[in-house]
Amino acid sequence: MSTIRELHQQLIQREISAVELAEQTFQRISQVEPEVHAFLTLTRERALAQARRVDEKIRAGEALSPLAGIPVALKDNLCTIGAPMTCASKILQGYMPPYESTVTHKLDEAGALFIGKTNLDEFAMGSSTENSAFGPSRNPWNTRCVPGGSSGGSAVAVAAGEAVYSLGSDTGGSIRQPAALCGVVGLKPTYGLVSRYGLVAFASSLDQIGPFAPTVEDAALVLQTLAGHDPKDSTSLRVEIPDYTQSLIPDLKGVRVGVVREFFGPGTDPDVQAAVESAIQTLKELGASVQEISCPRFQYGLSVYYIIAPCEASANLARYDGVRYGFRKAADSLIPMYSETRDEGFGPEVKRRIMIGTYALSAGYYDAYYLKAQKVRTLIKQDFLEAYQKVDVLVGPTSPTTAFEFGAKASDPLTMYLSDVCTIPLNLGGGAGISIPCGLDRKGLPIGLQIMSDALQESKLFRVAYAYEQATDWHKRHPSL
C-alpha cells in the first residue's frame, strides 16, 4: 500500500501519471468493493478530470501540492457539487448539494482526486456502520465483522486499498474508533481547527472533520491542507498553522506521556490491554517519561455525551421535514406529511436520538438533563487541563475491544454505545486525538493506540505517533483481501 509521499514522488518523476493512478484505484475498487461496500457513490468522471489537470501541471513543470493527483474518498455527509449526498439516510433521497464544503474545496484546489462518497452510520450516528440505510460496510480484516463507525466506509476504503486516504467526521470517536478497528491512522483535530462548512451537522459543538491515512506522515500532510480559518464557519479558529511535518522525529526524549487509568478496567479486552501496555513500553524505550494519570470525571463522559449529542441532533435534524428537499411521503394534510415522512425517512437509531434529545430539552427536563450535562462537560474538560499541566500527551486504548461480528450489539444500544467509552471524553473537551495501529488480537484483528493532546497541540500528537510508528511495523500490516 503506497503512501502519499511515495506516490507524490512517483508522479513528479513521471513514473506514473495521475490518470493512471486514478484508473488503478477504480480497478482496485471493482475488485474488492463487492466484499466490503465502502462506497455509496463513485465519482469517476470528476476524478479523471482532476487527474488530467494534474498531469497537465506536471507536463508544464508547475509545482505540485503533496496531495495533487492522490485519490481521496469522502464521507457522504460532506457537500460536493455534482454528486448526491445521502448521509446514508433515505430522507435525503435524491439530494444534490448546491455548494462545495470548505474541506473538499481545499482538496480540489490542492489537486486531489475525488474517488467517491463513502458509507456511514445514518447521519453519523453509530459505532458500527450497521445503521446505514444502504447496508453496512464490512471490515476488510474479516468481512463477518463491523469496521466501526460512524465513518466506517472511509476507514474501509483506506484499509482495503480503495483510496490512499479519506475524510471522516468525529463527533464521539467516529474517526478514531473505525481507524482502530480497521488498522489505519485516524486523526480528530482540535475542534475549530478544520472548517465544518458543508458538513451535515449531527452535534454542532462536537463534530470535527479529519483524515484516515496509512501513516502518521500522511495524516499530517492532509491536515496541513485542511486546517485554517474559514469565515463561513463561526466556530472556526483564527490561529497560525504550523508545519506539522517538522514534528515527525523518531525519538521522544523529553516528552511526558500520561497513561489514563480510567481507560483500563472491566470491559477492556485482555488482548487490547496487552497491546496498549506493550506500546507504552515502546514509548518509554524511545525516551519518553511515562506516568499514570487519573481523570476521574471521564467515567461520566458516556452519560454526558448521550444527552448533549442527541439534544443537538434533535435541533439539527428538525430541518428534514419533507418540505424543502429529500424524501417526501404524500399525505392529505401537513402534520401527517411531516410525521409520515420522518417516520419512514429516518432509521431506528436516528429516531432514538431525536426522541432522547427532544425529551431532554423539553420543559421541566432541560435543567435536570441538558444543563447538568453541560456542567459535567466542564468538569471533564478540567480533568484534561489538570492532566496537561503534568504531561504533554495522554494515551490509552482507542476502543476497549477489537471489531465485533455483525449483529452482536445491534439489539442492545447501551452495549453499542460503550464502544466509544475511550473516545468520547476528548470530543467533550475539544482537544485533538489520533489512533494508530499497535497490534493484532488473537483473531488477527487490529488494535488501536489512542494519543490525545490539548487543543491546538497536534504537533505533539504527530511527534509521539510518528516515533512509535517508526519503531514498529504495525502500520505495514494489511488485510489479505
Q: Which residues of 414-450 are buried (b: 16+ CB within 10 A; e: fewer)?
A: eebbbbbbbbbbbbbbbbbbbbbbbbbbeeebbbbbb
Model confidence over 400-431: pLDDT tens digits?
A: 999 999 999 988 888 899 999 999 999 999 99
Tell me what pLDDT residue 413 has: 85
**HSE (side-chain half, CA atoms, 13 Å) at 347:** 21
pLDDT value at 1 more than 90: no
Model confidence over 124-152: pLDDT tens digits?
A: 999 999 999 999 999 999 999 999 999 99
Q: Which of 174, 247, 314, 453 is catalytic?
A: 174
Q: Residue with C-alpha cell 489538570?
A: 386
Side by side, the strands of the sheet bearing 113-118 are 39-42, 113-118, 71-75, 165-169, 209-213, 185-188, 432-440, 446-453, 393-397, 256-260, 289-293
Tell me what pLDDT residue 171 has: 98
What is the spatial distance between Cα 21 and Cα 355, in angstroms, rounded to a whole number?
46
Based on the residue annotation, tell me whether 294 is a catalytic residue of this protein. no
Say how many Å lie between the first and final Cα of the chain, rounded: 12
Residue 204: which of 360, 58, 317 has the closest Cα? 317
For the entire predicted model, the pTM comes to: 0.98
Q: Per-residue pLDDT averaged across 80-88, rounded?
A: 97
Residue 88 binned pLDDT confidence (cut-offs 50, 70, 90)? very high
Give the least confident one: 21-30, 118-127, 281-290, 363-372.
363-372
Cα dihedral 284, 246, 158, 305 sign: positive
Query: What domains can be seen in the chain, in order of their start residue?
Result: 4-253 (3.90.1300.10)
- Which amino acid belongs to residue 413? P
Residue 266 binned pLDDT confidence (cut-offs 50, 70, 90)? confident
- Which amino acid belongs to residue 160? A
Q: Which of 65, 150, 236, 453 is catalytic?
A: 150
Conformation bin of residue 123: beta by default, left when phi > 0, alpha when psi is -120 to 50: left
Q: Per-residue pLDDT averaged across 369-380, rounded?
A: 97
Tell me what pLDDT residue 358 has: 96
Tell me what pLDDT residue 71 has: 98
Tell me what pLDDT residue 481 has: 85
CB–CB of 315/357 below 8 Å? yes
Model confidence over 209-251: pLDDT tens digits?
A: 999 999 999 999 999 999 999 999 999 999 999 999 999 999 9
Angle between helices 4-12 and 216-226 (to 10 degrees): 70
Residues in the chain: 481
Based on the residue annotation, tell me whether 2 is a catalytic residue of this protein. no
Based on the residue annotation, tell me whether 75 is a catalytic residue of this protein. yes
Tell me what pLDDT residue 412 has: 86
In this structure, the number of other CB atoms found within 10 A of the CB of residue 35 comes to 13
Q: Which of 75, 117, 188, 460 is catalytic?
A: 75
Model confidence over 436-476: pLDDT tens digits?
A: 999 999 999 999 999 999 999 999 999 999 999 999 999 99
What is the spatial distance between Cα 43 and Cα 115, in angstroms, rounded to a whole number?
5
- Which amino acid belongs to residue 304? V
Residue 327: which of 120, 98, 90 has the closest Cα? 90
Residue 193 binned pLDDT confidence (cut-offs 50, 70, 90)? very high
Residue 25 has φ and ψ, to the nearest 5°, of: -65, -45
Mean of the per-residue pLDDT values of the chain: 97
